[in-house]
Amino acid sequence: MSEKNAIPKKVIYRLSTYHRCLQRLADNGIETVSSGTLAKAAGVNSSQLRKDITYLGQWGTRGLGYPVETLASALRDALRQEKLQPVILVGAGNLGSALLRYQGFQKEGFEVVAAFDADPAAARKRGVNVPLFLEEEMETFLLENPVRLAILCVPAEFAQGVANRLVRAGIQGILNFSPAVLEVPKEIVVNSVDLASELENLSYFIR
Amino acid sequence: MSEKNAIPKKVIYRLSTYHRCLQRLADNGIETVSSGTLAKAAGVNSSQLRKDITYLGQWGTRGLGYPVETLASALRDALRQEKLQPVILVGAGNLGSALLRYQGFQKEGFEVVAAFDADPAAARKRGVNVPLFLEEEMETFLLENPVRLAILCVPAEFAQGVANRLVRAGIQGILNFSPAVLEVPKEIVVNSVDLASELENLSYFIR
DNA sequence: TCGTGTGAAGACGTTCACAGCT
DNA sequence: AGCTGTGAACGTCTTCACACGA
């Protein structure tokens, strides 16, 4: 983010989308795709797609389009998806334990290596089969296992406190599902997903 | 969105945040707040907050600040949160059934009135206690119950098909948790939450 | 001719800075 | 004096339009 030639955040989101679309094309044995076609699949303007892709270099052939496999691999490279990235999850309540059972992360190169909860027994009943520890053991775990990403699913009132501990323990990125506004040092990256806000937003725009 | 004096999407998200912050202030018995203080709590620039709030009219008093209760109620009004908004959910798998148990929606004025799944028996085992129907009954239900918002949690490959059916059945806004890019008529609003993309994004920005 | 890569234009969003009300 | 409301400056993102390579 602070880097000089970092790709803008919005572009990174779109690159993820392009990557998924390319994978589908590759699965169908398609070898080449034009910016127009790929843009339509990704729901964006074709010239935006071309601009986005040139952040990665020049992968297209004029008059032809982009080589599906090559471009997909360039995207994986840019998104640092080549190897499995370990992640921890804090707060294995309803939402947290659902995310633990969710397969979508693994598919995109992330592995939840441990989960922490104030009441691991209750979480275990929810059918979690990821190593599950008492919340206090978080720091010890992180000392022995260098994980950089955390998924935060604790209730809003505890979110800031847990975030502080995560940052002190060396976590560099937090995916925050609580509706709290987290204050963290500027080198730490936070992405927040607020489910209620998303509904409020929809609710506003349906006239 | 298409309206002439619709408030921009980004502003609506921030208004949700301001509303939550105001509620906390109100709970603590605080009656007046300045743009600077509220902006800090919401993690934004104070002049942005003032601009955002003037979309709702002029609620502040120069030299004093904003009346907490009054402003909160103006926000609820703008966000159409005054009354309970019914919502349906399609796809009660891991994520879907977790959302059904999630309390955060109710708190912000939404009620999931029914859920639909291809295999309701399996979903029922996950401890859902919202009326749960076979997916095919969706259209009949919507005919009798005029719901405008749907939460879509089906696997990516079924998302477009289900979205088409929702739109035909009169749904106006879709909160899409699948990683698919949905094509819908332009008067339909779609908000997508792609959990894997969020992690990819973090992964990119932690250097 | 087809489709990429890209400067330039345009739309949009944010921040500044200050006039004006209390 | 303190703080809002707001034009104007600034910055960022998107789209246009076309030169250029295959």
Average pLDDT over residues A101-129: 90
**Final residue before a domain boundary, out of B35, B53, B77:** B77
Which helix (H) or strand (E) segment is B167 a member of? helix B156-168
**Measured between CB atoms, which of B78, B105, B195 is closest to A199?**
B105
Which helix (H) or strand (E) segment is B47 a member of? helix B46-54
Q: Same domain for A48 and A102?
A: no
Lowest mean per-residue pLDDT among A2-6, A147-151, B43-47, B201-205: A2-6
Q: With an 8 Å Cβ cutoff, is A21 touching chain B?
A: yes
The model carries a pTM of 0.95
Share of chain A above pLDDT 70, in %: 98
Average pLDDT over residues A130-143: 97
Q: Same domain for A61 and A33?
A: yes
Q: Same domain for A96 and A187?
A: yes
**What's the domain count of chain B?**
2
Q: Tell me if A168 is assigned to some domain.
A: yes
> What pLDDT shows up at residue A70?
98
> What pLDDT shows up at residue A194?
96
Task: Assign A110 a pLDDT band (cuts: 50, 70, 90).
Answer: very high
**Final residue before a domain boundary, out of B43, B58, B77:** B77
Q: Which residues of chain B, if any, have pLDDT below 70? A: 1-4
Q: Same domain for B61 and B105?
A: no
Q: Same domain for A50 and A25?
A: yes
Q: With an 8 Å Cβ cutoff, is A37 touching chain B?
A: no
Q: Tell me if A39 is assigned to some domain.
A: yes
- For chain C, which bases have at least one atom within 7 A of a protein Cβ? 1-7, 12-18, 20-22
For position B45, which CATH number holds?
A: 1.10.10.10
The pLDDT tens digits for A74-88 are 999 999 887 899 999
**Measured between CB atoms, which of A95, A173, A189 is closest to B98?**
A95
Q: Tell me if A158 is assigned to some domain.
A: yes
What is the spatial distance between Cα A192 and Cα A156, in angstroms, rounded to a whole number?
A: 12
Average pLDDT over residues A37-65: 98
CB closer than 7 A to strand C: which residues?
A: A 33-36, 46-47, 50-51, 53-54, 58-66; B 8-11, 44-45, 47-48, 50-51, 61-64
Q: Tell me if B206 is assigned to some domain.
A: no
Q: Same domain for A187 and A123?
A: yes
A175/B198 touch (CB, cutoff 8 Å), yes or no: yes
Q: Same domain for B185 and B97?
A: yes
Helix residue spans in chain A (DSSP H)? 9-27, 35-42, 46-54, 68-78, 94-101, 104-107, 120-125, 138-144, 156-168, 195-205
What is the spatial distance between Cα A6 and Cα A55, in angstroms, rounded to a whole number?
A: 9
Domain assignment of residue B158, given as a range: 85-198
Q: Tell me if A205 is assigned to some domain.
A: no
Q: Which residues contact A132 (CB under 8 A, 6 or more apart)?
A: A92, A114, A115, A116, A117, A120, A123, A124
Residue A27 pLDDT exceeds 50: yes
Which helix (H) or strand (E) segment is A28 a member of? none
Amino acid (1-letter code) at residue A89: L
Q: Tell me if B176 is assigned to some domain.
A: yes
What is the spatial distance between Cα B38 and Cα A154, in angstroms, rounded to a whole number?
A: 24
Q: Same domain for B122 and B91?
A: yes
Average pLDDT over residues A38-42: 98
Q: Tell me if B23 is assigned to some domain.
A: yes
**Measured between CB atoms, which of A43, A85, A179 is closest to B181?**
A43
> What pLDDT shows up at residue A1?
43
The pLDDT tens digits for A178-201 are 999 999 999 999 999 999 999 999
Are A85 and B177 within 8 A, CB to CB?
no
Q: Tell me if B205 is assigned to some domain.
A: no
Average pLDDT, chain A: 94
For position B89, which CATH number holds?
A: 3.40.50.720
> What pLDDT shows up at residue A76?
95
Residue A9 pLDDT exceeds 90: yes
> What pLDDT shows up at residue B2?
44
> What pLDDT shows up at residue B3?
53
Q: Is A44 exposed, middle or buried (0-12, 13-18, 19+ CB in 10 A)?
A: middle
Q: Same domain for A73 and A89?
A: no
Q: Same domain for B50 and B141?
A: no
